Chain A
Amino acid sequence: MAWYIVRRLAVSVVVLLGISAVVFFLLHLVSDSPGRVVLGQRASPEAVAAFDHEHGFDRPVVVQYVSYLGQLLQGDLGRSYKLNQDVSTLLQQNAARSAMLSLAGLVLALVIAVPLGILQAVKRNSVVDRVATGAAYVLYATPAFLLGLVLIAVFSQQLDLLPAEASQSHSPWVVFTDPRSMALPVVTIAVTSIAIFSQYQRSSALDQLGQDYIRVARAKGLPERLVLTRHLLRNACLPLITLVGTMIPLLLAGNLIVESLFNYSGLGLLFLNSLHREDYPVLLAYTLIGGVLTVVGNFIADIAVALADRRIELAS
C-alpha cells in the first residue's frame, strides 16, 4: 500500500500541474491584460502598460506561469486586484463556510439515502420501492436552482416556515447556530444527492442480499434487523464510498447555484461574483481547488475502500 500511496501522490502532482497550466493559459487567451481589467475601459494605454509592467504581466506567458507556480509552492494564490485582497485570505473566509454547507448536505443525504436504499432493496418491487425509485428519477432530473426556487416558494412564501435567505453570519458554524435559515440550502443540496445515493445503495444492497453470507447470518437465528445492520450495511456501503469520493467536487459545483440562490457567502458565490468582475486570480484559484478536490476525493475514496474492505489490495 505504501508504494500505492507514493505513486498516487506523484500522479496527483502531475494532474494538478496539468490543470493549473490549462486553466492559466486559457484565462490568458480569453482575457484582456490584467491592467485593462483592473484599471477599467477608460484608463489610458500607457497606464495599463505601466500597471502590467509593474506587476510583470508583460512577460511571456510561460515565464508568468512558472513564477505563478513558484508562488503557489509558497502558498501564495495571487492577489485579487479588484478586491485588493490576497486570494488565499478571500478563500479562507469562504472555504470553511462552503465546506460546512456541503458537508451538512452530504451527511443529510447519506443519512437518508443509505437506509432508504436498503429498505428499497429489502422490499424490492413493492409500492414503497417503486415510489422511491420514481421520485429519485424525478429529483435527479430536477436542476438545483429550480428545486431551490420551489422550496422557497413553498416553505418560505406559502407556508412562511423558513427564511428564504441563508444566514449572513460569517461563522462557518451557522449550520448549527442558525439551523432555520440554513435548512433550505442544505436540503436543496441534499435532495439531488439522495436521489443518486439511494439508487446506488439499492442496487448494491440487492447484490449483497443475494450473497451467501446473508443466508448464513439468517441461519444463525439473527433477527432480520441484525442481519441488515451487522452484516449487510457495511458491505452494501462499500461502492458508495467511491461514489461519495467522486461526488465531492460536484458538491462544490452544486454550491455555486445554491449559494447564489440563497445568497450565502461561500466559494460558489465568490466564484460567481469574481466571474462578473473578471477577477482572474480568484477564478484561477477556484478552478485549482476544484482540481485538488477531485484528486483528493478520489484518493481518499480509494484508501477508505481499501481500509473498509480488506480484500482489496491497492496495486501499484
Chain B
Amino acid sequence: MALDSTAESTIVSAAPAAPDERVLAVRDLSVEIRRGDRVVRPVSGVSLDLHRGETLGIVGETGSGKSMTGLALMGMLPAGGRVTAGSIDFGGTELVGLPAPAYRRIRGNDMAMVFQDSLTALNPTRRIGEQVAEPVRWHQGLSRRAARQRAEEMLALVGIPRPRERMDDHPHQLSGGMRQRVMIAMALVCEPKVVIADEPTTALDVTIQAEILDLLDDLRVRLGMAMILVTHDMGVIARHADRVGVMYAGRLAETGPTTALFELTRHRYTQALLASIPSLTHDRGEELHSIGGAPPDLSAAPVGCAFAPRCTAVTERCRTEQPAVVAEGSHAFACWNPASGPVEHATTRLAAPARIGVEHDGPRLRVVDLHREYPAGHGAWFGPRRTVKAVSGVTFDVAAGETFGLVGESGCGKSSLGRMLVALDRPTAGEVVFEGRSLTAMRSRELGAHRARLQMMFQDSSAALDPRMRIGAILREPLAIQGIGSRAERTATARDLLADVGLPSAVLERFPHELSGGQRQRVALARALALDPTVLVADEPVSALDVSIRSQVLNLMRRLQGERGLSSVVISHDLAVVRYLSDRVGVMYLGRLVETGPAEEVYAAPAHPYTAGLLAAVPEISSMPRDQRVGRVRGDLPSPIDPPSGCRFRTRCPLATERCAEVEPRLEEVGPGHQVACHFPLQPVVRPSHNGGA
C-alpha cells in the first residue's frame, strides 16, 4: 500500500522531528472514572513520547480512550475521573498530581487543546475577539489593548479574512470552518509547546477539513509546536501524522511511524480496521471487510487481549494473557499473533442485485425540476423578506433496483431533496413522480397509502427511535398504522425483520438506549423495511457510526438492496460511502446537480471541477491519481439566500471566466449516462455543440 502522507501539503515534510527534544513523555498512564458504583477504565497503561515539531496521531473508535488520554494530559478529566497510575513528564514538570493552580498556569498556555467544532464550542454570547484574547490576558497579563492586538494577529494567522472586522462578531455569525479557525486561534494564542487537537475536523465538510488540517500543520511548523492529533479517521492520520498510535479499549495496540505502520501493519486490530474502511478506489463488487461484534465494556476487568473476541486470528493465549508490547525499532505493537502487512484478500463477492418487483415501465422514481425555498426572515431593518433556495431545479431518475447516491457539502440541499422524495416535505415547484404517478399532485389521504412504499432512514438513530417504545413496538407500529396483519403476525414480521438485519429476536423487548449505535441503526433500517417499500431514502445512514460498525451496516445495506430489489437514494457527505453503496451518483452544489453519472466513472474521471475538487479533498490512506488542473475546493459555500449568478460554483472555481458569471451551464453528456453542467468540463463533451446556454 503506497502511502501519500504529504499530498497537497508541502509543510508536513518540512518539519523534521528532532528526536533529542522530547517535550512530552507519558509512561503507563491509567485513568479511571467513577460514577456511583460503576468504575470505567478508559485508559490503561498508555505510554507515548512527543517530540518538538512532530505530529503524533492517535486513532481509535468511540470509547477507545483516545479523547480521554488527551483530557488526562490537559488535567481535565470529567467528574469522577482520576489518573490512577503512571506519569506525564512535560518538559521536566511532572503533571500527575500537580496542584490545580500550577496546572492552570500550564493549561491553555504551554499546552493547549483544540476541540471538535460544535455550535457551542465558542461562547455564544461573547465576541470572538474577546474570546481569543482571553488566554493571553490571563496567562501573560497583557493589557486589554495589547491582548486585542494579539488576538487580531492570531485571527489573521489562522486565515480569517478582515480580522479586525470579525473581532466584534459573535460566533453564530461565522461558518463552521471559520469557527474552527477561531477555536485554533484561541488555543494557539499563547504559543503553546504542545497542542492536542481532539477530532478537530470531524464536524466539518471534507473541503473545510482539508483546509483546517493544513492550517494546523502550517502553524505547528511556524510556531515550533508539537501536536497530538486525536481522530477516528485513518485518512486524516495518513496525511497529517508523522507517527501513529492506534488505540483499542483503552490501550495502545500499535505505535510507529505512519508509513511503516500502514505498510507493515502488525496488530490484528489495525489490520482489520484498515480493511473495513471504504475507499474511493474500492472494487464495488467486493464486500467490505467487517469486524464482527462490538468494542468491550471497559467497566469489566480485562483478561487477555481486549480485541480477542472480535479477532479472526485469535488463539487460546489471546483470551487469557494480556499481550506484551513488542518493539521492532520505532514500531511497537501488543499482539500475540502479529500480522505482516495489510489484510490478505479473502473477500466475498456481492451477489448481483435482484430485479424484483418491477411491474411497470420507466423509472421507479422520477424527480422533475424540483425546487424548494424556505422563508428566511428579513435581512435588515425593514428589509425585504428573503428566501433560502435550498433546492433549485434538480432532475434525475432512479430505476427499479438501482441506488442513486447524492453527495455534496452540508448546506447544498441534499437533505431537503431527500425529504421531498419521500413526501415528508412538498416542493415549491417541480414534481416527484413515483411509479408513474406524481406524489406532488396527490391529496394527503391518497399519499398516506403510498407512504408505505417510500421509506426513509435517518442519521441519528438515537433520535429517530422513540426512546419510550420497545424495539418490538417500534417495528410493529408502521404495520399497525397500515392495518397489516394481526398483532401476532406483526410480531412475527418484526422478528423476521430483525433476523434480516442480523439482530436476535431478544432485541424485540429492548429499549433503544439499551442498544449500541450500530444495533440501533440496524433497527432503523429494519423499521424502514417493515412495510416492504420499493424506495428507500437513507440520509447519512452511517455517519454517526464507528469505522468497524460502519462497514457492518454498509454491507448489510448493500445486501438488502440487492435482495429486495430496492430503489435507494443514499445521501451522504462521505464520498467513499456513497461510492460503495451507489450505482449512480449525483453531485449537488447549492441546490443544483452539477454532475451525474455512473458512480465508478464519476469518481475515476470527474468532469466537473467541483467533483474533482471534492475528491481531492478526501484524505485517503492510499494515493489515487488526481486531476492536476484543479486543486481541491477551497473556501466556504456561498449563501443559498443569494446564490452567485451564472454557474453557482464559479466563486470557488479555478477555471471560472466571465462567461461562467453570465450564463448558467446546462447538463451535457460527457459519456454514456454521465452528464455535467460546466462550461469548461474536465472531460470532453460527447456531442459537439455550441455549449449554448443562452
Contact = CB atoms under 8 A, between A and B. Distances in A.
B115 interface: yes
Residue of A212, A235, A238, A313 contacting most chain B CB atoms (<10 Å) = A212
A216 B121 contact: yes
B112 A216 contact: no
A304 to B, nearest CB: 13
B122 A216 contact: yes
Contacts of A221: 104-109, 135, 138-139
A238 B126 CA distance: 13
B123 interface: yes
B76 interface: yes
Contacts of A313: 377
Given A310-B170, A311-B170, A315-B377, A220 B138 contact: yes
Interface string B107-122: 1110011011010111
B378 A235 contact: no
A308 B125 contact: yes
A3 B382 contact: yes
A231 B76 CA distance: 17
A2 B379 CA distance: 11
Nearest to B122: A213
B74 interface: yes
Contacts of B170: 310-311
Most A Cβ at <10 Å: residue of B74, B76, B125 = B125
A230 to B, nearest CB: 8
Interface in A158-202: none
Q: How large is the interface on A (under 10, 10 to 19, 20 to 34, 35 or more residues)?
A: 20 to 34
B74 A219 contact: yes
A21 interface: no
Interface in B400-450: none
B387 to A, nearest CB: 14
A234 B125 contact: yes
A217 B378 contact: no
B186 interface: yes
Contacts of B173: 310
B104 A216 contact: no
A235 B123 contact: yes
Contact of B76 (A3, A211, A218, A308): A218
A211 B120 contact: yes
A55 interface: no
Contact of A216 (B105, B115, B125, B377): B115
Contact of B112 (A212, A219, A311): A219
A217 B107 CA distance: 10
A316 interface: yes
Interface string B93-106: 00000000100111
A297 to B, nearest CB: 22
Interface in B538-568: none
A238 B120 CA distance: 15
A26 interface: no
Given A216-B122, A216-B183, A234-B125, A222 B104 contact: yes
A213 B121 contact: yes
A42 to B, nearest CB: 63
B254 interface: no
A237 to B, nearest CB: 10
A234 B125 CA distance: 7
Contact of A213 (B113, B123, B378): B123
Contacts of A238: 125
A43 interface: no
B352 to A, nearest CB: 47
B671 to A, nearest CB: 46
B382 A2 contact: yes
Contact of B121 (A212, A234, A315): A212
B16 interface: no
Interface in B371-401: 377-378, 381-382
A226 B173 CA distance: 25
Interface string A216-252: 1111111100100011001100100000000000000
Contacts of B172: 310-311
A315 B125 CA distance: 19
B114 to A, nearest CB: 9
B134 interface: yes
Interface in A260-316: 308-311, 313, 315-316
A213 B76 contact: no
Interface string B123-136: 11110000000110
A222 B138 contact: yes
B381 A1 contact: yes
A315 B376 CA distance: 9
Contact of A215 (B115, B124, B138, B187): B115
Nearest to A234: B125
B190 to A, nearest CB: 9
Contacts of B125: 234-235, 238, 308-310
A311 B169 CA distance: 11
A221 B187 CA distance: 11
A301 B580 CA distance: 52
A29 B24 CA distance: 84
B601 to A, nearest CB: 42
19 contacts: A215-B115, A216-B121, A217-B134, A218-B107, A219-B112, A219-B187, A220-B112, A220-B135, A222-B134, A223-B101, A223-B104, A231-B123, A231-B126, A234-B126, A235-B125, A309-B124, A310-B125, A311-B124, A316-B377
Interface of A: 1-3, 211-213, 215-223, 226, 230-231, 234-235, 238, 308-311, 313, 315-316
Given A217-B123, A219-B115, A220-B186, 7 more contacts: A3-B378, A213-B120, A213-B121, A216-B123, A219-B76, A226-B138, A310-B124
Going nearest first, the 9 A-B pairs with the smallest beta carbon separation are A221-B108, A220-B108, A221-B107, A2-B381, A211-B120, A212-B121, A310-B170, A213-B123, A311-B172
